[in-house]
Amino acid sequence: MKIKLPCKSVVREYAESIIIAVVLALFVRTFIMGVFKIPTGSMKPTLIEGDHIFVNKFVYNFIPPKRGEVVVFKSTEEKKKYLIKRLVVFGGETLEIKEGSLYINDKPISGIDSFGQRYYYNRGEFGGEGQRVAVPDKSFYMLGDNSAGSRDSRYWGFVPKKNLVGKAFLIYWPLYRIRVIK
């Protein structure tokens, strides 16, 4: 005597597969990796308008951010807006912009190529000529790579640690711009 097992319908199998795929995709997008499109030229030449990037959202749960990393964070001015800038100064440090160079705790930044290759302009309430800015604990000072065309910490101040979303790590679109973000 043969026992006949009930088989799932094809529609039910596809529906279950789609639901599982959607739940996994939402989990990955919420907690592990985000995708963002660059809307402005504030990070030129590293990122240009129209670049699509991947952002590692969980890395800062295990490893603290490093100076020079390109970071996505929630805006301090518009709560639903995300920004992308380069992390320059940590809480407890001071920054001064002198003659286009960055000085942290009265010493020029060294060892990070991306800072030495750019000219930084004295602008805004938190980056004026001769101004020494003290960054509060559990906060960061962020600058755009395109100093002449970036609204950044020089204008709106400091980014609280809780606003960090993740580390930008890859340009995936357009295809001719695919590269790791340094």
Tens of pLDDT, residue by residue over 147-156, are 999 999 999 9
Please report, rounded to a whole number, the percentage of residues in the chain having pLDDT higher than 70. Answer: 94
Decide: helix, strand or coil at residue 156.
Answer: helix
Provide the whole-model pTM: 0.83
Q: What is the side-by-side strand order in the sheet with 107-108?
A: 107-108, 101-104, 94-98, 132-134
Superfamily for 10-180? Umud Fragment, subunit A (2.10.109.10)
Tokens 């960061």, residue? 140
pLDDT of residue 12: 80
pLDDT of residue 22: 84
pLDDT of residue 10: 74
Exposed (0-12), middle (13-18) or buried (19+): which is 14, by Cβ within 10 Å?
exposed
* Residues involved in catalysis: 42, 85
Q: Residue 169: in which H helix or E strand, if any?
A: strand 164-173
